[in-house]
Structure 1
Protein backbone atom coordinates (compact mmCIF):
# COMPACT_ATOMS: atom_id res chain seq x y z
CA UNK A 1 0.00 0.00 0.00
CA UNK A 2 1.38 3.38 -1.03
CA UNK A 3 0.85 6.45 1.15
CA UNK A 4 2.35 8.77 -1.46
CA UNK A 5 0.48 12.05 -1.71
CA UNK A 6 -2.11 11.20 0.96
CA UNK A 7 -0.92 13.61 3.66
CA UNK A 8 -3.77 16.13 3.46
CA UNK A 9 -6.47 13.48 3.07
CA UNK A 10 -5.08 11.57 6.05
CA UNK A 11 -4.83 14.73 8.17
CA UNK A 12 -8.46 15.53 7.41
CA UNK A 13 -9.71 12.05 8.26
CA UNK A 14 -7.91 9.17 9.98
CA UNK A 15 -5.43 11.32 11.90
CA UNK A 16 -8.19 11.95 14.46
CA UNK A 17 -8.92 8.24 14.71
CA UNK A 18 -5.29 7.22 15.18
CA UNK A 19 -4.86 9.90 17.85
CA UNK A 20 -7.34 7.99 19.99
CA UNK A 21 -4.49 6.09 21.64
CA UNK A 22 -2.59 9.25 22.59
CA UNK A 23 -3.85 9.72 26.14
CA UNK A 24 -3.19 6.08 27.03
CA UNK A 25 0.33 6.22 25.60
CA UNK A 26 1.15 9.32 27.63
CA UNK A 27 -0.19 7.65 30.76
CA UNK A 28 2.13 4.70 30.16
CA UNK A 29 5.14 6.95 29.58
CA UNK A 30 4.54 9.04 32.70
CA UNK A 31 5.74 12.62 33.26
CA UNK A 32 8.01 14.08 30.60
CA UNK A 33 10.74 15.32 32.95
CA UNK A 34 12.50 16.83 29.90
CA UNK A 35 13.06 13.39 28.36
CA UNK A 36 13.55 12.76 24.64
CA UNK A 37 11.03 10.96 22.46
CA UNK A 38 11.12 9.72 18.88
CA UNK A 39 7.73 9.30 17.19
CA UNK A 40 8.25 6.99 14.22
CA UNK A 41 5.74 7.21 11.38
CA UNK A 42 4.46 10.50 12.77
CA UNK A 43 2.03 11.16 9.91
CA UNK A 44 0.51 14.64 10.15
CA UNK A 45 2.17 15.20 13.55
CA UNK A 46 -0.99 15.07 15.69
CA UNK A 47 0.43 12.76 18.34
CA UNK A 48 3.95 14.19 18.16
CA UNK A 49 2.56 17.66 18.83
CA UNK A 50 0.59 16.34 21.82
CA UNK A 51 3.77 14.79 23.24
CA UNK A 52 5.51 18.14 22.76
CA UNK A 53 2.75 20.01 24.57
CA UNK A 54 3.11 17.52 27.42
CA UNK A 55 6.73 18.60 27.87
CA UNK A 56 8.67 16.01 25.89
CA UNK A 57 11.62 16.81 23.61
CA UNK A 58 10.12 15.31 20.48
CA UNK A 59 11.54 14.29 17.14
CA UNK A 60 8.88 13.33 14.60
CA UNK A 61 10.18 10.92 11.96
CA UNK A 62 8.07 10.60 8.81
CA UNK A 63 9.33 9.33 5.43
CA UNK A 64 6.37 10.44 3.26
CA UNK A 65 6.80 14.04 1.97
CA UNK A 66 3.08 14.85 1.84
CA UNK A 67 2.70 13.78 5.47
CA UNK A 68 5.60 16.01 6.52
CA UNK A 69 4.06 18.90 4.58
CA UNK A 70 0.75 18.38 6.41
CA UNK A 71 2.57 18.19 9.75
CA UNK A 72 4.64 21.31 9.09
CA UNK A 73 1.53 23.27 8.11
CA UNK A 74 -0.33 22.28 11.27
CA UNK A 75 2.55 22.18 13.75
CA UNK A 76 5.24 24.60 12.54
CA UNK A 77 7.31 24.24 15.72
CA UNK A 78 7.48 20.46 15.53
CA UNK A 79 10.92 18.96 14.83
CA UNK A 80 10.34 16.89 11.67
CA UNK A 81 12.88 14.59 10.03
CA UNK A 82 12.64 12.60 6.79
CA UNK A 83 13.36 9.27 8.39
CA UNK A 84 11.54 6.01 8.80
CA UNK A 85 11.55 2.25 8.98
CA UNK A 86 13.03 -0.19 8.24
CA UNK A 87 16.36 1.62 8.73
CA UNK A 88 16.39 4.57 11.11
CA UNK A 89 19.47 6.77 10.89
CA UNK A 90 19.77 7.32 14.64
CA UNK A 91 22.34 5.68 16.86
CA UNK A 92 21.67 2.93 19.37
CA UNK A 93 19.68 4.05 22.44
CA UNK A 94 19.45 7.57 21.01
CA UNK A 95 16.09 8.45 22.62
CA UNK A 96 14.64 7.89 26.06
CA UNK A 97 11.36 6.74 24.55
CA UNK A 98 10.40 5.54 21.06
CA UNK A 99 6.80 5.27 19.86
CA UNK A 100 5.25 3.87 16.69
CA UNK A 101 1.48 4.33 16.54
CA UNK A 102 -0.18 2.08 13.92
CA UNK A 103 3.04 1.73 11.96
CA UNK A 104 4.08 -1.92 12.27
CA UNK A 105 0.88 -3.00 10.52
CA UNK A 106 2.00 -1.11 7.40
CA UNK A 107 5.66 -2.13 6.98
CA UNK A 108 6.89 -4.96 4.71
CA UNK A 109 8.86 -6.65 7.50
CA UNK A 110 7.22 -6.03 10.90
CA UNK A 111 9.82 -7.98 12.88
CA UNK A 112 12.77 -6.12 11.40
CA UNK A 113 10.97 -2.81 11.94
CA UNK A 114 10.11 -3.69 15.55
CA UNK A 115 13.73 -4.61 16.26
CA UNK A 116 14.79 -1.24 14.85
CA UNK A 117 12.39 0.62 17.14
CA UNK A 118 13.87 -1.22 20.11
CA UNK A 119 17.43 -0.50 18.97
CA UNK A 120 17.08 3.29 19.17
CA UNK A 121 15.16 3.31 22.49
CA UNK A 122 16.97 3.67 25.80
CA UNK A 123 14.23 3.39 28.45
CA UNK A 124 10.90 2.59 26.86
CA UNK A 125 9.46 1.52 23.50
CA UNK A 126 5.74 1.52 22.67
CA UNK A 127 4.01 0.28 19.54
CA UNK A 128 0.37 -0.13 18.56
CA UNK A 129 -1.59 -2.00 15.93
CA UNK A 130 -5.24 -2.56 15.14
CA UNK A 131 -7.10 -5.51 16.64
CA UNK A 132 -10.37 -4.17 15.21
CA UNK A 133 -10.41 -1.23 12.83
CA UNK A 134 -12.69 0.81 10.52
CA UNK A 135 -11.99 -1.62 7.67
CA UNK A 136 -15.27 -3.30 8.66
CA UNK A 137 -17.13 -0.11 7.70
CA UNK A 138 -15.73 -0.20 4.18
CA UNK A 139 -16.40 -3.92 3.88
CA UNK A 140 -20.05 -3.11 4.63
CA UNK A 141 -20.05 -0.39 1.96
CA UNK A 142 -18.56 -2.76 -0.62
CA UNK A 143 -21.10 -5.47 0.21
CA UNK A 144 -24.02 -3.01 0.00
CA UNK A 145 -22.75 -1.77 -3.36
CA UNK A 146 -22.57 -5.34 -4.68
CA UNK A 147 -18.91 -4.91 -5.58
CA UNK A 148 -16.22 -7.60 -5.37
CA UNK A 149 -14.73 -7.92 -1.89
CA UNK A 150 -11.42 -6.16 -1.34
CA UNK A 151 -8.75 -8.83 -1.24
CA UNK A 152 -6.44 -6.74 0.95
CA UNK A 153 -2.71 -6.69 0.50
CA UNK A 154 -1.25 -9.32 2.80
CA UNK A 155 2.37 -9.87 3.65
CA UNK A 156 4.09 -13.15 2.80
CA UNK A 157 3.29 -15.75 5.44
CA UNK A 158 6.78 -15.67 6.89
CA UNK A 159 6.56 -11.88 7.37
CA UNK A 160 2.95 -11.50 8.49
CA UNK A 161 1.52 -11.78 11.98
CA UNK A 162 -1.89 -12.52 13.44
CA UNK A 163 -3.76 -9.25 13.87
CA UNK A 164 -4.71 -9.85 17.50
CA UNK A 165 -3.09 -8.80 20.76
CA UNK A 166 -1.59 -12.26 21.21
CA UNK A 167 -0.38 -12.33 17.61
CA UNK A 168 1.16 -8.88 18.02
CA UNK A 169 2.93 -10.02 21.18
CA UNK A 170 4.33 -13.12 19.47
CA UNK A 171 5.61 -11.08 16.53
CA UNK A 172 7.33 -8.62 18.84
CA UNK A 173 8.88 -11.46 20.83
CA UNK A 174 10.31 -12.79 17.55
CA UNK A 175 11.86 -9.33 17.09
CA UNK A 176 13.62 -9.46 20.46
CA UNK A 177 11.04 -7.61 22.53
CA UNK A 178 9.82 -8.70 25.95
CA UNK A 179 6.43 -7.05 25.46
CA UNK A 180 3.54 -6.34 27.76
CA UNK A 181 0.38 -6.00 25.70
CA UNK A 182 -3.09 -4.73 26.41
CA UNK A 183 -6.02 -3.46 24.38
CA UNK A 184 -7.80 -0.13 24.20
CA UNK A 185 -11.31 0.14 22.75
CA UNK A 186 -12.96 3.47 22.00
CA UNK A 187 -15.61 4.98 19.73
CA UNK A 188 -14.60 7.49 17.10
CA UNK A 189 -17.36 9.95 16.22
CA UNK A 190 -16.45 10.48 12.59
CA UNK A 191 -17.61 13.21 10.27
CA UNK A 192 -19.05 11.55 7.14
CA UNK A 193 -17.27 14.09 4.93
CA UNK A 194 -13.96 13.18 6.58
CA UNK A 195 -14.59 9.49 5.98
CA UNK A 196 -15.33 10.14 2.35
CA UNK A 197 -12.29 12.33 1.95
CA UNK A 198 -10.12 9.47 3.21
CA UNK A 199 -11.42 7.16 0.49
CA UNK A 200 -11.32 9.73 -2.31
CA UNK A 201 -7.81 10.72 -1.19
CA UNK A 202 -6.47 7.17 -1.41
CA UNK A 203 -5.91 6.67 2.32
CA UNK A 204 -5.34 3.12 3.62
CA UNK A 205 -6.83 -0.03 2.12
CA UNK A 206 -10.25 1.44 1.35
CA UNK A 207 -8.68 4.32 -0.54
CA UNK A 208 -6.46 1.95 -2.50
CA UNK A 209 -9.52 -0.18 -3.38
CA UNK A 210 -11.58 2.84 -4.47
CA UNK A 211 -8.75 4.00 -6.72
CA UNK A 212 -9.01 0.76 -8.73
CA UNK A 213 -12.72 1.16 -9.48
CA UNK A 214 -14.19 2.28 -12.79
CA UNK A 215 -16.41 5.37 -12.74
CA UNK A 216 -19.64 3.34 -12.71
CA UNK A 217 -18.47 1.30 -9.72
CA UNK A 218 -17.30 4.44 -7.95
CA UNK A 219 -20.84 5.80 -8.22
CA UNK A 220 -22.20 2.54 -6.76
CA UNK A 221 -19.63 2.76 -3.95
CA UNK A 222 -20.62 6.34 -3.16
CA UNK A 223 -24.33 5.55 -3.20
CA UNK A 224 -23.79 2.64 -0.82
CA UNK A 225 -21.70 4.84 1.46
CA UNK A 226 -24.43 7.48 1.58
CA UNK A 227 -27.06 4.84 2.39
CA UNK A 228 -24.95 3.37 5.16
CA UNK A 229 -24.30 6.81 6.64
CA UNK A 230 -28.03 7.53 6.63
CA UNK A 231 -28.63 4.27 8.51
CA UNK A 232 -25.93 4.81 11.12
CA UNK A 233 -25.67 8.56 11.60
CA UNK A 234 -26.03 9.68 15.22
CA UNK A 235 -26.15 13.38 15.95
CA UNK A 236 -24.53 14.21 12.64
CA UNK A 237 -21.62 11.82 13.10
CA UNK A 238 -20.80 8.20 12.48
CA UNK A 239 -19.91 6.27 15.65
CA UNK A 240 -17.19 3.74 14.80
CA UNK A 241 -15.83 1.48 17.51
CA UNK A 242 -12.37 -0.03 17.15
CA UNK A 243 -9.71 -1.68 19.27
CA UNK A 244 -5.96 -1.17 19.37
CA UNK A 245 -3.35 -3.50 20.79
CA UNK A 246 -0.73 -1.52 22.74
CA UNK A 247 2.65 -3.14 23.32
CA UNK A 248 5.22 -1.82 25.80
CA UNK A 249 8.72 -2.78 26.81
CA UNK A 250 10.62 -1.04 29.59
CA UNK A 251 14.19 -1.73 28.62
CA UNK A 252 16.60 -2.95 31.28
CA UNK A 253 13.76 -3.75 33.70
CA UNK A 254 12.75 -7.19 32.48
CA UNK A 255 13.62 -8.83 35.82
CA UNK A 256 11.02 -6.75 37.61
CA UNK A 257 7.76 -8.54 38.32
CA UNK A 258 5.81 -5.25 38.48
CA UNK A 259 3.78 -4.72 35.28
CA UNK A 260 3.46 -1.39 33.52
CA UNK A 261 0.36 0.46 34.71
CA UNK A 262 -2.66 -0.58 32.67
CA UNK A 263 -0.76 -3.28 30.78
CA UNK A 264 -0.78 -7.01 31.32
CA UNK A 265 2.28 -9.19 30.60
CA UNK A 266 2.06 -11.71 27.78
Structure 2
Protein backbone atom coordinates (compact mmCIF):
# COMPACT_ATOMS: atom_id res chain seq x y z
CA UNK A 1 0.00 0.00 0.00
CA UNK A 2 1.14 3.57 -0.63
CA UNK A 3 2.00 6.34 1.80
CA UNK A 4 5.65 5.65 2.61
CA UNK A 5 7.51 7.29 -0.27
CA UNK A 6 10.41 9.44 0.90
CA UNK A 7 9.59 9.22 4.61
CA UNK A 8 12.75 7.49 5.85
CA UNK A 9 14.11 10.39 7.91
CA UNK A 10 10.72 11.25 9.44
CA UNK A 11 10.06 7.59 10.25
CA UNK A 12 13.51 7.17 11.80
CA UNK A 13 12.84 10.17 14.06
CA UNK A 14 9.41 8.97 15.19
CA UNK A 15 7.66 5.70 14.45
CA UNK A 16 10.84 3.62 14.34
CA UNK A 17 10.96 3.89 18.13
CA UNK A 18 7.28 2.96 18.40
CA UNK A 19 7.61 -0.09 16.14
CA UNK A 20 10.56 -1.31 18.22
CA UNK A 21 8.01 -2.15 20.92
CA UNK A 22 7.82 -5.71 19.58
CA UNK A 23 11.57 -6.26 19.20
CA UNK A 24 12.16 -8.05 22.48
CA UNK A 25 9.22 -10.40 21.94
CA UNK A 26 10.56 -11.34 18.51
CA UNK A 27 14.09 -11.81 19.84
CA UNK A 28 12.85 -14.10 22.61
CA UNK A 29 10.71 -16.12 20.20
CA UNK A 30 13.67 -16.73 17.87
CA UNK A 31 16.44 -17.39 20.37
CA UNK A 32 20.11 -17.34 19.45
CA UNK A 33 20.81 -17.34 15.73
CA UNK A 34 23.84 -19.66 15.78
CA UNK A 35 24.73 -18.35 12.29
CA UNK A 36 21.42 -19.40 10.77
CA UNK A 37 20.08 -17.22 7.97
CA UNK A 38 17.23 -14.76 8.44
CA UNK A 39 15.35 -12.43 6.10
CA UNK A 40 13.69 -9.37 7.64
CA UNK A 41 11.01 -8.28 5.18
CA UNK A 42 10.01 -4.62 5.29
CA UNK A 43 13.10 -3.96 7.38
CA UNK A 44 12.65 -0.17 7.39
CA UNK A 45 15.57 1.64 8.98
CA UNK A 46 17.10 -1.65 10.11
CA UNK A 47 16.81 -1.63 13.90
CA UNK A 48 15.22 -5.10 14.21
CA UNK A 49 17.60 -6.58 11.63
CA UNK A 50 20.59 -5.16 13.50
CA UNK A 51 19.39 -6.53 16.83
CA UNK A 52 18.90 -10.00 15.36
CA UNK A 53 22.38 -9.84 13.80
CA UNK A 54 23.77 -9.09 17.27
CA UNK A 55 22.07 -12.29 18.45
CA UNK A 56 23.96 -14.41 15.94
CA UNK A 57 21.60 -14.48 12.96
CA UNK A 58 23.02 -13.95 9.47
CA UNK A 59 20.53 -11.26 8.52
CA UNK A 60 19.47 -9.81 5.19
CA UNK A 61 17.14 -6.82 5.19
CA UNK A 62 14.57 -6.37 2.44
CA UNK A 63 12.98 -2.92 2.04
CA UNK A 64 11.35 -1.22 -0.97
CA UNK A 65 11.68 2.42 0.15
CA UNK A 66 15.08 3.90 -0.82
CA UNK A 67 15.17 6.49 1.99
CA UNK A 68 14.65 3.69 4.52
CA UNK A 69 17.40 1.59 2.93
CA UNK A 70 19.77 4.56 2.95
CA UNK A 71 19.32 5.12 6.69
CA UNK A 72 19.59 1.39 7.38
CA UNK A 73 22.87 1.13 5.47
CA UNK A 74 24.27 4.19 7.20
CA UNK A 75 23.31 3.10 10.72
CA UNK A 76 23.90 -0.64 10.32
CA UNK A 77 26.55 -1.11 7.61
CA UNK A 78 27.17 -4.73 8.59
CA UNK A 79 23.58 -5.74 7.77
CA UNK A 80 22.99 -5.92 3.99
CA UNK A 81 19.66 -4.54 2.81
CA UNK A 82 18.25 -5.06 -0.67
CA UNK A 83 15.31 -3.59 -2.55
CA UNK A 84 12.31 -5.88 -2.45
CA UNK A 85 8.75 -6.16 -1.26
CA UNK A 86 5.96 -8.61 -0.63
CA UNK A 87 4.23 -10.45 -2.16
CA UNK A 88 7.00 -11.18 -4.71
CA UNK A 89 10.46 -11.71 -3.21
CA UNK A 90 13.49 -12.27 -5.45
CA UNK A 91 14.79 -15.28 -3.52
CA UNK A 92 14.79 -19.00 -4.22
CA UNK A 93 12.44 -21.36 -2.46
CA UNK A 94 13.68 -22.19 1.04
CA UNK A 95 16.47 -19.61 0.90
CA UNK A 96 16.33 -18.69 4.62
CA UNK A 97 16.08 -20.48 7.94
CA UNK A 98 13.76 -17.75 9.25
CA UNK A 99 11.69 -14.88 7.86
CA UNK A 100 10.34 -11.99 9.93
CA UNK A 101 7.90 -9.18 9.07
CA UNK A 102 7.36 -6.58 11.78
CA UNK A 103 4.26 -4.45 11.04
CA UNK A 104 4.38 -5.30 7.35
CA UNK A 105 1.38 -7.54 6.61
CA UNK A 106 -0.92 -4.73 7.73
CA UNK A 107 0.47 -2.53 4.91
CA UNK A 108 0.50 -4.86 1.89
CA UNK A 109 -2.23 -5.08 -0.72
CA UNK A 110 -2.67 -8.84 -0.35
CA UNK A 111 -1.86 -10.09 3.19
CA UNK A 112 -2.57 -13.76 2.49
CA UNK A 113 -0.46 -13.93 -0.62
CA UNK A 114 2.30 -12.04 1.20
CA UNK A 115 2.19 -14.38 4.20
CA UNK A 116 2.39 -17.35 1.82
CA UNK A 117 5.40 -15.77 0.10
CA UNK A 118 7.16 -15.60 3.46
CA UNK A 119 6.70 -19.38 3.69
CA UNK A 120 7.99 -19.94 0.17
CA UNK A 121 11.41 -18.44 0.92
CA UNK A 122 11.69 -20.23 4.30
CA UNK A 123 13.32 -23.62 4.49
CA UNK A 124 11.10 -26.57 5.44
CA UNK A 125 10.53 -26.46 9.19
CA UNK A 126 11.95 -22.93 9.41
CA UNK A 127 10.44 -20.19 11.55
CA UNK A 128 8.20 -17.39 10.33
CA UNK A 129 7.23 -14.46 12.56
CA UNK A 130 4.93 -11.54 11.81
CA UNK A 131 3.24 -8.78 13.78
CA UNK A 132 0.27 -6.50 13.25
CA UNK A 133 -1.36 -3.74 15.26
CA UNK A 134 -4.33 -4.51 17.48
CA UNK A 135 -4.33 -0.99 18.98
CA UNK A 136 -2.82 1.28 16.36
CA UNK A 137 -1.00 4.63 16.28
CA UNK A 138 -3.94 6.01 14.30
CA UNK A 139 -6.11 6.18 17.43
CA UNK A 140 -4.28 9.31 18.62
CA UNK A 141 -4.64 10.97 15.23
CA UNK A 142 -8.33 10.11 15.02
CA UNK A 143 -8.76 12.04 18.28
CA UNK A 144 -6.90 15.01 16.75
CA UNK A 145 -9.11 14.91 13.65
CA UNK A 146 -12.31 14.69 15.67
CA UNK A 147 -11.29 17.73 17.70
CA UNK A 148 -10.38 19.63 14.54
CA UNK A 149 -13.65 18.70 12.83
CA UNK A 150 -11.84 16.90 10.04
CA UNK A 151 -12.24 13.46 8.51
CA UNK A 152 -10.42 10.71 10.41
CA UNK A 153 -6.78 10.00 9.55
CA UNK A 154 -7.23 6.26 9.26
CA UNK A 155 -5.24 5.60 6.08
CA UNK A 156 -6.19 3.27 3.24
CA UNK A 157 -8.49 0.30 3.68
CA UNK A 158 -8.20 -3.05 1.93
CA UNK A 159 -11.10 -4.56 -0.02
CA UNK A 160 -13.19 -6.86 2.15
CA UNK A 161 -11.94 -9.99 0.38
CA UNK A 162 -8.31 -9.07 1.12
CA UNK A 163 -8.63 -7.65 4.63
CA UNK A 164 -8.50 -9.49 7.94
CA UNK A 165 -9.79 -8.79 11.44
CA UNK A 166 -7.21 -6.78 13.37
CA UNK A 167 -7.14 -9.04 16.43
CA UNK A 168 -5.06 -12.00 17.52
CA UNK A 169 -7.81 -14.38 16.39
CA UNK A 170 -8.28 -12.61 13.07
CA UNK A 171 -4.55 -12.43 12.38
CA UNK A 172 -4.22 -16.11 13.19
CA UNK A 173 -7.06 -17.08 10.85
CA UNK A 174 -5.50 -15.12 8.00
CA UNK A 175 -2.11 -16.76 8.52
CA UNK A 176 -3.64 -20.24 8.73
CA UNK A 177 -5.41 -19.56 5.44
CA UNK A 178 -1.99 -18.67 4.04
CA UNK A 179 -0.52 -22.03 5.04
CA UNK A 180 1.34 -21.20 8.26
CA UNK A 181 1.79 -24.31 10.42
CA UNK A 182 2.21 -24.83 14.19
CA UNK A 183 0.84 -21.32 14.61
CA UNK A 184 0.80 -19.44 17.90
CA UNK A 185 -0.45 -15.87 18.28
CA UNK A 186 -0.08 -13.74 21.39
CA UNK A 187 -0.72 -10.10 22.18
CA UNK A 188 1.93 -7.76 23.53
CA UNK A 189 1.29 -4.34 25.08
CA UNK A 190 3.58 -1.36 25.60
CA UNK A 191 3.53 2.39 26.14
CA UNK A 192 5.22 4.72 23.71
CA UNK A 193 6.38 7.87 25.49
CA UNK A 194 6.75 10.46 22.74
CA UNK A 195 7.14 14.20 23.01
CA UNK A 196 5.01 16.55 20.96
CA UNK A 197 7.89 17.44 18.63
CA UNK A 198 8.37 13.79 17.67
CA UNK A 199 4.68 13.26 17.05
CA UNK A 200 4.41 16.43 15.00
CA UNK A 201 7.45 15.51 12.91
CA UNK A 202 5.78 12.23 11.97
CA UNK A 203 2.73 13.90 10.39
CA UNK A 204 4.61 16.77 8.76
CA UNK A 205 7.04 14.16 7.40
CA UNK A 206 4.19 12.18 5.83
CA UNK A 207 4.59 9.04 7.94
CA UNK A 208 1.80 6.43 7.68
CA UNK A 209 -1.88 7.20 7.15
CA UNK A 210 -1.94 10.20 9.47
CA UNK A 211 0.99 11.83 7.68
CA UNK A 212 -0.50 11.23 4.24
CA UNK A 213 -3.80 12.67 5.47
CA UNK A 214 -2.14 15.79 6.91
CA UNK A 215 -0.21 16.47 3.72
CA UNK A 216 -3.44 16.19 1.72
CA UNK A 217 -5.05 19.07 3.66
CA UNK A 218 -5.20 22.66 2.53
CA UNK A 219 -3.58 25.40 4.62
CA UNK A 220 -6.73 26.23 6.59
CA UNK A 221 -7.34 22.61 7.58
CA UNK A 222 -3.68 22.13 8.44
CA UNK A 223 -3.97 25.03 10.89
CA UNK A 224 -7.08 23.45 12.41
CA UNK A 225 -5.26 20.14 12.66
CA UNK A 226 -2.27 21.75 14.40
CA UNK A 227 -4.46 23.66 16.87
CA UNK A 228 -6.26 20.45 17.81
CA UNK A 229 -2.94 18.60 18.06
CA UNK A 230 -1.49 21.25 20.38
CA UNK A 231 -4.57 21.21 22.61
CA UNK A 232 -4.58 17.43 22.89
CA UNK A 233 -0.87 17.25 23.64
CA UNK A 234 -1.16 19.96 26.30
CA UNK A 235 -3.91 17.97 27.99
CA UNK A 236 -2.01 14.68 27.90
CA UNK A 237 1.61 15.70 28.48
CA UNK A 238 3.25 14.41 31.66
CA UNK A 239 6.91 15.10 32.36
CA UNK A 240 7.42 16.28 28.82
CA UNK A 241 5.94 13.29 26.98
CA UNK A 242 2.57 11.91 25.91
CA UNK A 243 1.98 8.29 26.95
CA UNK A 244 0.36 6.35 24.10
CA UNK A 245 -0.78 2.79 24.74
CA UNK A 246 -0.28 0.30 21.93
CA UNK A 247 -0.72 -3.41 21.40
CA UNK A 248 0.18 -5.89 18.69
CA UNK A 249 -0.50 -9.47 17.72
CA UNK A 250 2.74 -11.47 17.40
CA UNK A 251 2.45 -14.65 15.33
CA UNK A 252 5.00 -17.44 15.17
CA UNK A 253 4.71 -20.39 12.81
CA UNK A 254 6.68 -22.80 10.66
CA UNK A 255 7.05 -23.51 6.98
CA UNK A 256 5.89 -26.92 5.80
**Are residue 2 (structure 1) and residue 6 (structure 2) matched?**
no
| Unaligned runs of at least 5 residues, structure 2 | none
In structure 1, the residue matched to 2:118 is: 117
Separation in structure 1 between the aligned mates of residue 213 and residue 229 of structure 2, nearest angstrom: 14
In structure 2, the residue matched to 1:260 is: none
In structure 2, the residue matched to 1:263 is: none
Q: TM-score of the superposition, structure 2-length normalised?
A: 0.95
**Are residue 40 (structure 1) and residue 41 (structure 2) matched?**
yes
**More deviation in 17-26 or 48-57?**
48-57
Cα offset, 1:151, TM superposition: 5.7
In structure 2, the residue matched to 1:257 is: none
What does 1:90-239 correspond to in 2, within 5 Å? 90-122=91-123, 123-150=126-153, 152-178=155-181, 179-239=183-243
Cα offset, 1:56, TM superposition: 1.3
Separation in structure 2 between the aligned mates of residue 151 and residue 58 of structure 1, nearest angstrom: 33
Separation in structure 2 between the aligned mates of residue 67 and residue 187 of structure 1, nearest angstrom: 24
- CA deviation vs aligned residue, 1:77-120 (integer Å, no higher than 9, x gap): 22111112110011111111100000000000000000001111
Contact 2:135–2:246 (Cα < 8 Å) also in 1: yes
Separation in structure 1 between the aligned mates of residue 107 and residue 161 of structure 2, nearest angstrom: 15
Contact 2:61–2:81 (Cα < 8 Å) also in 1: yes
| Unaligned runs of at least 5 residues, structure 1 | 253-266
In structure 2, the residue matched to 1:241 is: 245
In structure 2, the residue matched to 1:250 is: 254
**Are residue 61 (structure 1) and residue 62 (structure 2) matched?**
yes
Q: TM-score of the superposition, structure 1-length normalised?
A: 0.92
Contact 2:138–2:153 (Cα < 8 Å) also in 1: no
Separation in structure 2 between the aligned mates of residue 137 and residue 227 of structure 1, nearest angstrom: 13
Cα offset, 1:145, TM superposition: 1.1
- What stretches of structure 1 move > 2 A for 4+ residues in a row? 148-152
Q: What is the DSSP-based 3-state SS (H/G/I as helix, E as strand, rest coil) of the residue aligned with 1:5?
A: coil
CA-based RMSD: 1.2
Separation in structure 2 between the aligned mates of residue 73 and residue 220 of structure 1, nearest angstrom: 37
